[in-house]
Amino acid sequence: MPVTHLRKVIANAMRYSKQHSAHVTHVDEADVTDLMDHYRRAKPVIEERTGVRFTVLPFFIKALVATLKKYPIFNASVDEERQEILFKKYYNIGIAVDTPEGLIVPVIRNADRKDMVDIAAEVADKAQRARDRPLTLDGLKGGTCTITNIGPLGGVFATPIINQPEIAIV
């Protein structure tokens, strides 16, 4: 299979990230039994009321935003030229989407200002547009931290590559 232009761009971005950022993996456990019980009860109600496919991802996005507010160093980027760390005052969360062309990371802008149903609708829309390819370049820029999910691949944990110029990926 020939390597597509998009795959080349993704590979070059990943190579750049590995060469310019210290990649560290930390694994921890959390008991989310109560969260999953709540989700299972809320999902059919929310979907019936709103028509939006509701997944657990909005819970993780909201938890990530709360964490970024508590630890702002992870909601930052490095300006190599000026040798400065730029702390972001906004929370634009990238979501890694697996597509036939490779991983694409659409951005949920101002996630701190949206409720979970709005986030769920936007995630579904942007993920589908990433797969179908009508997502514009503007929809992929400006992320401050990214969430990825190895669940569909299986395994216990992975070491994802940071989406530059972000400082962290969860």
How do residues 58-68 score in pLDDT, each as one tens digit? 999 999 999 99
Angstrom distance (rounded) from CA 42 to CA 128: 23
Average pLDDT over residues 74-85: 92
pLDDT at 11 over 90: no
The residue type of 37 is D
pLDDT at 60: 95
pLDDT at 17 over 80: yes
Percent of the chain with pLDDT over 70: 99
Comparing 100 with 96, which gets the higher pLDDT? 96
Would you tell me how many other CB atoms lie within 10 Å of the CB of residue 149?
16
Would you tell me how many other CB atoms lie within 10 Å of the CB of residue 129?
16
pLDDT at 66: 98
* Whether the Cβ atoms of residue 59 and residue 39 lie closer than 8 Å to each other: yes
Angstrom distance (rounded) from CA 23 to CA 152: 23
Task: Judge if pTM exceeds 0.85.
Answer: yes
pLDDT at 48: 97
**What are 109-163's pLDDT values in tens digits?**
999 999 999 999 999 999 999 999 888 888 889 999 999 987 777 777 888 889 8
